[in-house]
Structure 1
Amino acid sequence: MEILPADLQLYLETHCDIEPEALKKINRDTYLKILKPHMLSGHYQGRLLSMLSKMMAPSRILEVGTFTGYATICLAEGLTETGFIDTIEINAELEELLNQHFKSTNVEKKIRLHIGPAAQIIAGFDGPPLDLVFIDADKKNNLLYFALVLEKVRPGGLIIIDNVLWKGKVYGDAQDTDTKLIRELNDSIAANPQVEKLILPVRDGLLLIRKK
């Protein structure tokens, strides 16, 4: 199921940089082999993530929710020469596929894959502050992940959270649990004086958060 109308998606994709060949293959493999392939960032959002990463020129990135590695690779494109991205995936069954996908790119050596519960793994991170964080995992824990990473991000660092428009349900009348949780996330961050924030209506909504 596509989030945007097909004609709009095609227009956007034909008016940004082309999708790299390795990512085209990962896109196809995801739709052929994986349940809920629409969770993939895809061509247009992937180019946005790549551009944001290149603008930040990060040395250290954290991704919460790897899925099939598409966004991971896009984010890694902006890393400094010695930079790296830590990416966390709860589903151990994806590990072999992820390693295959990473090996098909020129950023494989900059990616460190962690399999397990994200909250536990994040809590154990130390070292230099994070420059960029992308959160695209289980939505019920978004606020927890945000709180955990905020203290580890440098001032001026960027946090990006995906799916914050929830197919438009957050600004409608829906009262299901997931929608309520995403509203709570958006409202909490909107009221947080530690950060600057802006929702971009890209695909299912990207919340950009800059730590002051």
Structure 2
Amino acid sequence: MTTDHTDRLEAYILEHTTPESELRAHLSREAHVRLLRARMLSGHLQGNLLQMICRMTHAHQVLEIGTYTGYAAHCLAEALPEDGEVHTLESDDEMEDFIREFVAQAPYRDRIHLHLGDALELLPKLLEKYSFDLVYIDANKRQYIDYYELILPHLPSGAIILADNTLWDGKVVAEPLPTDAQTQAILAFNDWVQQDPRVENLILPMRDGLSLIRKL
């Protein structure tokens, strides 16, 4: 499939997908103008999938590891009921102003709670206080197994974990370089989940790969 055909196909898909909100579109444009790694944000298609899963699972308490711009947090918060909450964790405090700027504009801003710091240090207290029914992981790839093992025992049966970037630019089907810790970590995570009898799982070939993991 040529690049031109792929671009046309993606354009067609977007034309036949529920539009993103004006605020999400504005956030995306500003990210591409103001940030160096704007391609890291979830984007329209994946954002809509997050919303649909959130609505289909009737989630109330959502945990996100890796806020970045906050785009995914907006997608999830939009889909929550009035009493729902998104607790989103971000390690880069330089993103705080950008995140809060757009959260402040959202009609659902009271549903989004930003926690700044190392996720492995923040998670124990959050998991003790809240019962999450949907988790979205899009942070340090080398710590995916650590996040997973810390979170899973606290989730109720039927809870969903979504893990982003699990195809890692297709590098998962090639032999990783000894120095490529990121690819090795994603390979280890995918194998770990595949062999875990506590869950059922599926990798969707959307963007950079999205794993859907359901606790049994």
TM-score range, shorter chain: over 0.9
Q: Distance in 2 between matches of 1:76 and 1:92?
A: 21
The AA in structure 2 aligned to 1:158 is I
Q: Distance in 1 between matches of 2:58 and 2:116?
A: 26
1:173: how far off?
Answer: 2.7
Q: Distance in 2 between matches of 1:82 and 1:184?
A: 37
1:211 aligns with 2:201: no
2:129 alignment partner, SS class: coil
1:172: how far off?
Answer: 2.1
Matched ranges for 1:35-54 at <5 A: 35-54=36-55
Matched ranges for 1:159-170 at <5 A: 159-170=161-172
- Tell whether the 8 Å contact from 1:62 to 1:134 is kept in structure 2 after alignment: yes
Matched residue, 2:15: 14
Paired residues in the alignment total 210
User: Runs of 5+ in structure 2 lacking a partner?
Assistant: none
1:135 aligns with 2:137: yes
The AA in structure 1 aligned to 2:195 is A
Matched ranges for 1:1-212 at <5 A: 5-125=6-126, 126-175=128-177, 176-212=180-216
1:78: how far off?
Answer: 2.2
Which protein is richer in helix relative to its size? 2
Deviations 1:145-170 (A, max 9, x none): 11111122111000000000001110
Deviations 1:10-57 (A, max 9, x none): 122111101110000000011011121110101111111111111112
Give aligned-pair identity as a percent: 39
Query: 4+ runs of 1 displaced by more than 4 Å?
Result: none
The AA in structure 1 aligned to 2:96 is E
2:158 alignment partner, SS class: strand
Q: Distance in 1 between matches of 2:42 and 2:174?
A: 24
The AA in structure 2 aligned to 1:151 is P
TM-score, normalisation: structure 1: 0.95
2:157 alignment partner, SS class: strand
Q: Distance in 2 between matches of 1:127 and 1:8?
A: 44
- Tell whether the 8 Å contact from 1:63 to 1:135 is kept in structure 2 after alignment: yes
Deviations 1:171-206 (A, max 9, x none): 123332211110100000000000010000010000
TM-score, normalisation: structure 2: 0.93
The AA in structure 1 aligned to 2:212 is L
112-121 vs 5-14, which moves further? 5-14
User: Runs of 5+ in structure 1 lacking a partner?
Assistant: none
1:155 alignment partner, SS class: coil
Q: Distance in 1 between matches of 2:77 and 2:150?
A: 22
Q: Distance in 2 between matches of 1:60 and 1:123?
A: 16
